[in-house]
Every structure is written in structure tokens, then in C-alpha cells.
Structure 1
């Protein structure tokens, strides 16, 4: 190691676990784990260390990597003024990844564990996109409902652990989502209680009465790890770390102060506890996540590899700025202590950071899950105020064009959505019949019945196919 690496300033051997976290991806390790590391460095809350866990077979690879380095995570902050590197020591163990989740259930039953947190991706909550509600008929959920003693999902394991704690007279833990989705606490509540009802309605009632599910807004851009990131870790003398994390300097976490069984003193390291999480959340989801979706598909279609390169293209930057200013900011409610115009400017600056090297392909990933959360609600809100949001309509049409499977240079776009094959088939059909794209009710719902929206989408998609991405954006910009 070199002197450039910041190491934990606390004795890790004296940490005690208080949190089980499910889903040890880059975001968690650059966000929640960093906040806890900061807190532990202050000499605070040393009984709130993290035990890591996963419920999918590929999580074993992350476990092997992290256990091989004593559960330390390398975090490299990519400030254009200079990179900094730290080793985060907030996690002290990583549970075996097992088909029946027995070790995970046992760990969550331990009275020391007072919070179970999750980053299982926006699509991991078994929400039916057509209804926006928990789907008890999802195959893995139905399986856990039929066999609650050997659950395959994170929520099944949580239900099993809560059942064991109730039987042993142990107070329950808080269940805290750290995923980026609207009302993440409510969504997690519905998943846990909805699953419990399938096998034990009485237990579901007990969970309803006794377990807290705080809502939270989380924010930090963390690109995927690849050769570039590993080389960066090696430049700091950490060439043996297979899973370093790079991230932007900015981070934000706003949480409801609603915990069943205590919490770490995270307010001492910059976490905001607020009863207005929904306001921060809407701001972030509409402006930042919506902004990502706005710049994703133009860049993807124009053959641009990196997000900062897309932002350096005046056409895309102006496209983002106009939609944000005219179609998104007017529908975002006030946020405590926040100037929305300044927040928009901050977001544009963050997207433009060349050190991040976030890819357009990553932003284009899983549009069938992200569009209904980040773009379509803003379209609905504009229509409700009597405005046809031409920029947002164009953003959605560009997603359709991207899913047709080739970019504007003729290059094949490799599958980039869990439903890619079907999306590609419908997108190609929509070239002749644009309304066919809107008939996917799980994505657009009753917008397919809104004549103004259908007409605007039809004209816009026709323009994209006839004139190309750049010319259609220029026409929108006027």
C-alpha cells in the first residue's frame, strides 16, 4: 500500500455487527458503507458494523473477492481536480451464499442485528409495472409463499428471520431499502408483508404492527468496475483488488427517522433525517434519473460511448437542459432548503465529469424498468397540467428507436434489457405502426388511450426514423 490511501482510523477487530446488508454492489460500498466508515472514524457507533449478504448465485464471486481482502472495499473518488483512494472497513463479514439462505436467516435472527438493509436494484422488488404494486404471483414470490422455510428471495429470508425472532421473543429489526426507487420504504413494506400473507397472515399482521420500513433517497454515481477501474486501483498499489469501486465525489442520503430498534448516528456524517423524503426523492428521480434517461438514448444511437462525451455534444446537452427547464422543473414540488435550478445545474456538472467514464450503455440498461419510474410519470404530470411534453415524448421515442437493435451508424446494439428480444420485435413493428410501442400496458398503462400523447409519439417516432436523432432533436430545440 502507499501513503496515498486513506485507511480506517478505528480498530476493526473491536467492531460489532448491527446491520445485515443484502446486495454488495458498487453503489452500497460507495454509499452506505462510506457513511458508516466516516462515522466509525469519529469513534462513534462501533456496534453498527455491516455483515454482507447475497441471495443470487453470482453474489458468491463478490463474497470470494471481499473475503479475500478481509472485507475491505477500495473506494476511488474521481474528482477532476485529483483522484483520492480509501479503504472502507465498515463491513466485517460476508455470509455464505446459499440456495435456501439458511446462513442469512440465522444472521438476521441474531439479536445484535437491528437493521436489515438492501440494494437489490430497482427491478428486484417484484412490482407489477402495470399496477405499480407488489406482485404476489411472481414465480419466485409464489415459490417462497409455498415453501417459506427455504426461501430463494431476500424478502423470503427477511420474513423467515422475523418469524424466528417473534418466536424467540427477540425485538424485530428495521428493514431499510437503499435502492433508487420512489417510496422505497413503502415498496419494501409491501413486498415483505405481501409475501408473509401468502404463508402466515398472522405473522404479516405482526410485521405490519412492529417493523419500520423507512423511506430514503440515495444518490451517488458509481460506474461499473472493469479493466480501467482495476488499473486505477493498481496505480494506488492495490493491484490485487479485483472489485474496486470508483465514484463521483458527490453523495447524498436523506432518510426518514423511523427505526424499530435503534440506528447509528449518521446525522454526524452528513445524512439528512427528514419527514419529507418524498420531496427529495421526487427531485432526484425526476431531475437526475430522468436526466440520465434523456441523454442515454441519443448518445446510444449516435455511437457515443461515455456520458461525459455525450454531455460535451452541444445538441445533447441542450436537449437535456431544455427538457429539465421546461418540462421537469415545473412539475417538481418544492424541496426543503433546495433551489431546483441550482440542483439542475449541479446535475449537469456531475454528468459532465470526465473522470467518471460512466457509459451510455449503462444508462440505456433496463429501460423497461426505468422508463416507468423516471420518464413516464413526468409525461403524465405534464399532460395533467395541459402540456404535451414534446421533449419527454422524444426521449421515450428514442428509447423505442434504440430497442430496434441498431444504432444510426448501423452497428448492432447488444441486448441491454431483460426483455430485449420482445422489445426489439415490438420496436421494429413500431417503425411502421408507432402506436404498437405504446400498447405495452405494463410500461405505458392508459397513456396508450390518450389521443394527444399517441399523436405526439407517433409523429415524433416517425421523425426519428425519417430524419435521424440529431435532426429531430434540432427541430425540438428550435
Structure 2
């Protein structure tokens, strides 16, 4: 017996499924969130739901917003079930389901007037976002906001009719300034270094193109706290919908499955107030950077390390990749010899213990995370999760052989066929541009490293280029398994 998810049906859910102890009428909107995807619903929304269950912070309920075509479908699904969501947290030997109710509305996707009006509401104290690493209009070659991006140019030309998240944030802040209202805090929840600073550069940078005085006001008055977020959350497929219904009795059109582990570290910089999230486990610190760098390099970088060899060897799930002795040994050697040595000390944290935790999390068989998801969007992820570690190691005279091999594996993957000859479907926003460069790199490896937007000065380093060329040649000549074996056995 499956119970359709809705407010009216909450009391009919199976007893084992946790549900909100608060009434929807207890809540009022305080946060507008852009990018209502799986990660947001497994992370920020879960923390807020737990807080509301304690009777705290209930004036910080979520209102969803989006600017992408897919957001319209997401809104329709969530609206049909009263914005409720079934979140299933899984470990190897356990699984627990809970229904969260922290979202109380979801604005029409892309409706700039409606979104700006809500941002103008003084009740909205925080505008948060999970818009992915590629959503911040960063020029990877300069690592700065790109004012020449066509979408930014278009919003600068029509600031009253924006189409991007940042255009809407600028318009909302302008409306509040003009009305004499205090600005909302802008909170990035994306996996990018210094995410608060990056968000500030995008918001102020866009404003500066059409209204320099507004840009100065934003820089002087708007808070952009940095934060580190962490919870492995795969995409939802029919598999997850079936498990939610058959094992937990919840008919959710868009359930979220995730690991049990969850972490959020935030700078406490919220001038207009914030929910007391420390009461549900959020860690507030003066400086997020050490935690952020640890996570981005060890976890996100580790995902990239296992992704491409697993993809080339036709491995489907991430836990299956960790069961492969070559992939697991490849990850362990790179982390211990190249990544962890490039991570500065983190308060109250043992980096070796942290990596052991990461290995257990990657190996969780219940998550169903796919290798293809980890391979996605390398052109945006490599410059953030891999290349900075290489750059630091080169400066310090450290080891880079394993990370050169990781880069060669990404290049080999982007040639579009696995070792078995299976075609790799497009898996990057820049796939059509990457494939011919990866193909050319088979005979001219430097062609790949000349992608300045990805590698910058690292691609010009002779030691790295020599190592990259060697590994790429071996991958084409002997295949992924044999190349991994050589690295694991010899380190070079």
C-alpha cells in the first residue's frame, strides 16, 4: 500500500516514516532559495526541517525559485505534493525515511517579476542558492567573474527584466535599497572555493555593469558568508521512486536518497538575522577556508580520481568502483601522497581520519550514486577540485604523477569511448568542444593542456606536461587497468 505524499495524507504514512511535528501554519517565509534540486532538499531543507521540529526558527521557512527550464517541472512536482519531500538516508546496513516540510512555496520558474517581488519582501532575510559549480559565470582562466558572458551582458542591458539568478538578486537588492529596507544576506551553498566571495563578485560585478552606485552599495552593505556543505546525494531515478514506495510506503514523485552523513560549516555573517542552526548541528566558525579546502580537495577531488578510470572500465556505481582493487588503490595512493599533503591543517581535524571516513562514504552500497554523475561537468570541476592541488604541489616541489594521470584519464574519457569501445554519451556542458581536443591530444598531448580556461599556468609547466603526456600515451596504448597497475606498483 503506497500513500501519496501530501499534507492531507501525512497521518496515513507508515509509522516508521518520520514526518514534521509542526503544522504548515506554524511557518512563515524567511529564505528564498534558488536551485531546488536534490542536494538542497537533502541538506539545507533537512537542517531547517529538524530545526522547525524543535519549534525554533519557524520564521525562516523556504520559498523556492528557479530560472532554468527544468525548474518548472520541479515546481509542478513539488506543488502537487504540497512541497513535501521524502528523504531517505542510507548506510550499508540501515535506511531511514523522513518527510520534510521546510518549503512552503515555490515561485513560477523564470518569472522575474514574481521572484523580485518576493526578494523585496522585508520578511526575506536570506537568499540562498545551489546552482552548481558552473553557475557563477567564472572565467576559469582568470578565476574571476566574467562580465563578458552573454547571459550577463543581456541582464546588464535589461536589469529590470533579468533572466539569471544574479540578475534577479541585483534587482531585488536594488528594490530594497530604493525602499529604504535592509538587504537580505546572500548565502551560497555550492561546492566552490570561497563560495561567498564568488557570489559577491557575481552580484556586485553584474550590478556594476549597469549601476556602479548600486554595486558600491552592495559591496558595503550586503553580507555573503562563506560556507562548506557536504552530503553525497545522487540523482533520483525510477530506482529511488520504487524503493520509496515499496520499502517505505511513500509515493513521492521526486524522493531524495542520500547518505546518512551530513555536514555544514558556515561563517556567522548574517546581519539581518538567521535561524539558530547551531541547535541542529551546523558549525559556525570565523573562517571556513580550512574546512572548505579539506572537503574540496579530499572528497570532491577524490570523486574525480575514481570517476574517470571507473567510467573507462564501464563501472556503473560508485560503490562498485570502490570494490575494484585498482580504483581503490589508485585513490588511496593519490590521496596519501599528493592530495592530503597539499591540504593545510584543519582545526580539530585529523586529515587521515577524514580520508578514512571518505573511503567508507564512497563505498556505501546503498547510495546508488553513479560513476557517470561523478564524471559530469569536468570542464567546470577540474579547475576547482584538481588543478589547484597540482599547482600547489608544483610550487612546493611535491609529487604530481598521480594527478597527472587523473588529468590524462579525464582527457581519455572525453575522447568519447570506453576501453571496451562503448560510446560515452555527452557528459559535459562543453562536450562538443572537448571531444575533438581530446582526440587531437592522442597525438599531441599539449593540445589538452593548452585549454587555459581549465589548466592556466599548470598546463604550461614542463614537469606536469611531460608526466601527462606519458600517462595519456600509456592509456591509449595499454588501457586503463594496465596503466593504473603501473602507477600503483611504481608511482611513476
Q: TM-score range by the shorter chain?
A: over 0.9
> Alpha-carbon deviation of 1:269?
0.4
| 2:86 alignment partner in structure 1 | 74
CA deviations over 1:270-306 (Å, ceiling 9, x no partner): 0000112000000000000000000000000001000
Matched, 1:191 2:202: yes
4+ long deviations beyond 6 Å: none
CA distance in 2, matches of 1:83, 1:449: 48
Tell me the equivalent position of 1:178.
189
Unmatched tracts of structure 1, length 5 or more: none
User: Which whole-Å CA distance do the structure 2 matches of 1:433 and 1:255 have between them?
Assistant: 44
Structure 2: 5+ residue stretches without partners: 1-12
CA shift digits 1:104-131 (9 cap, x unpaired)? 1000100100000000111000000111
CA shift for structure 1 position 387: 2.3
Aligned partner of residue 462 in structure 1, secondary structure: helix
Q: What is aligned with 2:70? A: 58
Q: Which residue of 1 aligns with 2:300?
A: 289
**Mean Cα displacement is larger for which, 245-254 or 420-429?**
420-429
CA distance in 2, matches of 1:140, 1:341: 43
Equivalent residue, structure 1, for 2:424: 413
Instruction: Tell me if the contact between 2:97 and 2:248 (Cα under 8 Å) persists in the aligned partners.
Output: no
Which of 230, 235, 238 is equivalent to 1:224?
235
Q: CA deviation at 1:411?
A: 0.4
d(CA) in 2 for partners of 1:54 and 1:417?
Answer: 21
Match of 1:439 among 426, 450, 459: 450
Farther-moved stretch of structure 1 (249-258 vs 464-473)? 464-473
Map 1:7-22 to 2 at 5 A: 7-22=19-34
Post-superposition offset of 1:260: 2.4
Secondary structure class of the residue paired with 1:18 = strand
- What SS does the aligned partner of 1:247 have? strand
Q: 2:415 aligns with which of 404, 413, 417?
A: 404
Number of residue equivalences = 477
Distance of 2:485 and 2:161 partners within structure 1: 56
Tell me if 1:327 matches 2:358. no
User: 1:448 Cα shift?
Assistant: 2.6
2:112 is the counterpart of 1:101? yes
TM-score (norm 2): 0.96
Whole-Å separation in 2 of the counterparts to 1:224 and 1:240: 17
* Alpha-carbon separation, structure 2, partners of 1:93 and 1:448: 47
Cα offset, 1:10, TM superposition: 1.0
Cα deviation code 1:3-23 (max 9, x no counterpart): 121000112212011100011
Change (3 A) 1:237 1:80: closer
1:148 pairs with 2:159: yes
Match of 1:58, SS state, is helix
| Aligned residue number for residue 374 of structure 1 | 385
Partner of 1:29: 41
Question: Could you give the per-residue CA deviations for residues 372-400 of structure 1, whole angstroms, max 9, x where no partner exists?
Answer: 11111111111111124111110110000
Which is further off, 229-238 or 338-347?
229-238
8 Å Cα contact 1:10/1:40 also seen in 2: yes
Is the contact between residue 390 and residue 458 of structure 2 (CA under 8 Å) also seen in structure 1?
no
Q: Is structure 2 residue 367 aligned with structure 1 residue 356? A: yes
Asked if 2 retains the 8 angstrom alpha-carbon contact of 1:305 and 1:361, the reply is: yes
The CA distance in 2 between the partners of 1:166 and 1:238, in whole Å, is 49
Normalised TM-score (structure 1) = 0.99
Deviations 1:419-470 (A, max 9, x none): 1111110111111111111111111112232111111111111111111111
**What are the residue-to-residue correspondences of 1:422-433 with 2, within 5 Å?**
422-433=433-444
User: Which residue matches 2:9?
Assistant: none
Does the aligned pair in 2 maintain the 1:148–1:160 contact within 8 Å? yes
Deviation at 1:210, TM superposition (A): 0.6
Q: What's the counterpart of residue 478 of structure 2?
A: 467
Rounded Cα–Cα distance in structure 1 between residues aligned with 2:468 and 2:267: 38
| CA 1:191–1:330: 2 relative to 1, 3 Å | same
